[in-house]
Structure 1
Amino acid sequence: MQRFLWRADHVNADSLSTFMVVALLDMSASLILQDSDDAYLCITGLPDCWSIDGSTVPADNTIFGDAIAGMLASAKCRARQSGSTETIEVSLDERRYFEFRILVFFVGESRSQVITTIVDRTEDRRREKVLQGLLRDVSHRSKNLLAIIQSIATQTSQHTDSIDAYVQKLRGRIYSLSRSQDLVTDSGWRGAFVRDLLDQQVAAYMPGRQNRVNFTGENVLLSPNVSMHLGLAFHELLVNAINYGTFLSTGEQIKVDCRIKNGGDVRQVKVQWNEPVTPQHPLVLTDLPTPVRRLGTAILERVVPASVNGQARYSITPKNIHYELAFPADPVSIN
């Protein structure tokens, strides 16, 4: 190995020692040079958790303690036998981490010296722990999302009478989840605001006519799980309103209200959907086949409330379609 890939002709290699020391210190690295008997010849800096007594000749055990000194002695023995660099990692109270790299090299034909380089790996290990935590979190959230999709697929299959209808409904519900997921992801996994969940669904199915759905009340920031399921409820209600409702032809508005209610020891979020209808609304008519009359009710009445630990009421009358969802409040903020 070349000592230097290149240097100016007028620069002596030995004069570059200061540069080497400064570079090591800038890298937060310490270098220890020892002879074949492990006697100290030189030290360039030490992490602030260790120190040397200037009145005595330093040694591994006086600087690092007996435990680390024993690890270093074993690593040096292996390095002498293998001729390659040995690496050990030391943890101090699981708060600081240091990497020791031990290399034995020969000066002349028989005299050996040992270079021990110490590098602070605390920040690297901290980042690794953060990344591991994020990966575990992503895995957990992915499993939750798959469970939601599985539940939706099961409920959809129970109330459709053809493959085409099943595919169409399932695709719409999964698209709804993906839109809610985008809001949750954009917030850094804090969740999503109620109004954003509603506006997103309305914009997807009624572009340019968002004013036909009126939101009132408190714009609560919901947890990721609640956001996914409330977005799904809005999807079901809106699709039914567009496909079977009369509000578009009559010029009336759908009204959505969100409030935080104090009920004893538990604060609750209550979301209400009020859709005006006429007596000729298809879901109001009593002579329709059961699958049509049950359109989306399993999602609205069972899947969504069970998933948010809440309760739901869904009613269809000759005057309006009313859906109310109440669940424990865990808002981060109100916008």
Structure 2
Amino acid sequence: MKKFFPIVAFIAVALISLTMAGFAYFATQEAARIKFEATADDALNRIEGRIDLHLSLLRSTQALFDARNGDISRGEFKAFFSALDIDKNFAGLRGIGFLRLAKTGDEAAIERDVLHDHGTAHAIYPDTTLPWRTPIVLFEPLDPSNQSSIGYDMFTDPVRREAIEKAMADDQQHASGLVKLGQETGAAQTFTGFLVFARLNVETAPDVINASRSSTSGFLYAAFRARDLFQTALSRTPLLPVNTEIYDGKMDADNLLFQSETPPVSTFGDRLLVSRKITVAGRQWTVLFRPTSAFSQPSSRAIPVMLGLFGLLLAGAIALVARYQERAYDAVSLLHETTEKSLLEKDLMLQEMKHRIKNSITRVLAIARQTASHATDVKEFSSSFSARLQAMAASQDMLTRSRWQKADLGDLLRIELGQVFGKELPDGILSGPQVLLDETTTQALGLTFHELATNALKYGEAGSANTLKGDSALKVDWSLEGRGRDRMLALNWREAGQKQLEAPAKTGFGTKLIDLNVTRELSGTINRHFRDDGLSVEIRIPLPA
């Protein structure tokens, strides 16, 4: 349990810190949500306030008609409308008009009244089979582009007719669905918008001023350009960091009344999406608000991250302190064991050194005896014996540098060939993967490579100075075959350049030494092929797993 205490301490403190960081993160997200909902409600209040202002204008116009018993001439209506300064005070309002309600077949009477008020003839259109007619008889501002709207029967359009029929049933205002303003008159420019209708009833009395006029019964309506209306409402200072979408009823592309030009921030996704339902003149709208890049969260998102990092650092510090205490306790406990083992290790090292020295002396004596038995004089013995001792020394040096662990086959070849041919070996002589050799294999292959190189230099052209400057006549490549305990080192030694090469009639000590090292020392195989163009030696030895 003492061993796992630092890990347990780290996990416990880290979990507590991450839990606190998680609570801080969720608190930050909740604060951002609350702040944005307040911002969205502010934007919604601006929209509702602007719509109420426009609808109050429609109610004022309705009061004007009621006060005059419906007898409003075009001049009086135009003067009333001009005094309102629509462009300045009611941006988004396309205009206010009056629809005369009549039965189908009574169009001639309405056309006479329109001629009387406007001074020009306007036919009622389009043709219809419906029982009622609601043509436009008054509209302001009546600029040249709106002249053709006089006489247009709104009852023929299904969207407008639905709102008009609702207005027939009560005295409330009723909004239409989404319409294209100007489309019915063939105007060059159309606007997405909506209409609001209010019923106007004026009964004819015997003592009316203008008894020649027929009784008036119809609808006042206001036409709104959606984009201008909502942009004006949302452009009040301070500007709100919201992207707004307004739909007539359900959220569908065909019902989109308005969409802000400023795009929402994608990093928030739908996490801060605020949806609201409002009722405008009896019709329900869906309003969506999303934050823009100008929206700033009430607290930085870096605080939970910093809190979590601080907790992890604290957990790591506590775990390290616990770990150091554990190590100090273990160090005291192991001090006695180390003292006892040190003497045993010294004895083992002395025994290992005695064993290695004994093996080296035995190998040196064997080489000396064999070299002496094949030498013709002291000079030849001294030269051959020195070269072989240098090869052994090179192998010993490589093992010493690696602390008697492993020696690289490529490095061993470079050292042994360098002693015979010189240190500057041309590129391309050696090729093969990295192979690490143990002590026995290193010493045996070191002598083997030395003898092969010496024979190549003595009897062939592979090691000549001129040949080594260009494409070398000596090539050594190796590969690994098999895996695990079946690993095998396959090495090919190829000498080129000799002519009419034949197998020697007598086997020298160098060849015997090579064969003994490969077959007996390393339990491998060696095959020599004397070809017309040179010598090829194939060596295969097993490698420990």
Q: Same fold (TM over 0.5)?
A: yes
Q: Is the 8 A contact 1:180 1:228 kept in 2?
A: yes
Match of 1:136 among 330, 351, 367: 351
Deviations, residues 266-307 of structure 1 (Å, cap 9, x unaligned): 321122211113216xxx367x884xx636211112244311
Shift of 1:164: 2.1
2:478 maps to: 258
Q: Which amino acid aligns with 1:315?
A: H
Normalized against structure 2, the TM-score is what? 0.35
What amino acid maps onto 2:363 in structure 1?
A: I
Q: What are the within-5 Å matches in structure 2 for residues 100-119 of structure 1?
A: none
Which residue number corresponds to residue 320 of structure 1?
534
Q: Distance in 1 between matches of 2:487 and 2:368?
A: 32
**Distance in 1 (alpha carbons) for counterparts of 2:484 and 2:412:** 28
**Inter-CA distance 305–191: structure 2 relative to 1 (3 Å threshold):** farther
Residues 296/318 of structure 1: CA separation in 2 closer, same or farther (3 Å cut): farther
- Structure 1 residue aligned with 2:393: 178
Q: Distance in 1 between matches of 2:525 and 2:541?
A: 7
CA contact (8 A) 1:311 1:325 kept: yes
Name the structure 1 match of 2:460. Answer: 245
Unaligned runs of 5+ residues in structure 2 are: 1-328
Change (3 A) 1:208 1:180: closer
Counterpart CA distance in 1 for 2:384 and 2:428 is: 22
Distance change (3 Å), C-alpha of 1:178 and 1:215 = same
Match of 2:435 in 1: 220
**Higher Rg:** 2
Q: Hey, what does 2:372 align to over in structure 1?
A: 157
Looking at structure 2, the residues matched to 271 and 161 of structure 1 have their Cα atoms a distance apart, in angstroms, of 33
The reply on whether 1:268 has 2:491 as its aligned counterpart is no
Is the alpha carbon distance of 1:255 and 1:171 closer, same or farther for their aligned partners in structure 2, counting shifts above 3 Å? same
- More helix, by proportion: 2
State the match for 1:37 in structure 2.
none
| Counterpart in the other structure of 1:329 | 543
Residues 1:305 and 2:525 aligned together: no
Moved over 6 A (4+): none
Q: Residues 117-157 of structure 1, C-alpha deviation per residue, up to 9 Å, x if partnerless?
A: xxx75322222222222221112222222222233223323
Q: What one-letter code is carried by the residue in structure 2 that aligns with 1:305?
A: T
The runs of 5 or more residues in structure 1 that have no matched partner are 1-47, 49-95, 98-119
CA gap of 1:155–1:263, structure 2 versus 1, over 3 A, is farther
- Label 1:315 to 1:163 Cα distance change in 2 as closer, same or farther (>3 A): farther
Alpha-carbon separation, structure 2, partners of 1:160 and 1:317:
29
SS across alignment from 2:487: strand
SS of structure 1 residue aligned to 2:429: strand
Quick one: distance in 1 between partners of 2:341 and 2:435? 34
Summarize the Cα distance change of 1:298–1:252 in structure 2 as closer, same or farther, 3 Å threshold. Answer: farther
Name the CA distance, whole Å, in 2 between partners of 1:304 and 1:205: 21
1:148 aligns with 2:363: yes
Distance, in Å, in 2 between the alignment partners of 1:197 and 1:264 is: 23
Q: Give a deviation string over 1:159-200, Cα, whole Å, max 9, x none.
A: 333332222111110110001100001101113111111111
The TM-score, its normalising length taken from structure 1, stands at 0.56
Residues 416 and 450, structure 2, Cα contact 8 Å, conserved in 1: yes
CA-CA distance at 1:316 after TM superposition: 2.9
- Aligned pair count reads 211
After superposition, the Cα gap between the structure-2 partners of 1:169 and 1:315, relative to the gap in structure 1 and judged at 3 Å, is farther
Report SS of the residue matched to 1:246: coil
Give the Cα separation in 2 of the matches to 1:302 and 1:200: 22
Percent of residue pairs identical = 25
- Match of 2:508? 294
Higher strand share: 1
Q: 1:186 to 1:226 in 2, by over 3 A?
A: same
User: 2: distance between equivalents of 1:213 and 1:235?
Assistant: 19
**Contact conserved, 1:193 with 1:220, CA < 8 A, in 2?**
yes
Matched, 1:187 2:402: yes
SS of corresponding position for 2:375: coil
Counterpart amino acid of 1:267? R
Question: Which amino acid is the alignment partner of residue 528 of structure 2?
Answer: Y
* Whole-angstrom CA distance in 1 between matches of 2:397 and 2:485: 33
Inter-partner Cα distance in structure 1 for 2:427 and 2:498: 17
Q: Which residue of 2 aligns with 1:83?
A: none
Which residue is equivalent to 1:52?
Answer: none
Q: Is residue 345 of structure 2 the alignment partner of residue 126 of structure 1?
A: no
Q: Indicate if the aligned counterparts of 1:219 and 1:258 stay in contact, CA closer than 8 A.
A: no
RMSD of Structure 2 on Structure 1 (CA): 3.0
Deviation at 1:212, TM superposition (A): 6.2
Question: In structure 2, do the counterparts of structure 1 residues 175 and 142 end up closer, same or farther at CA, with 3 Å as the change threshold?
Answer: same
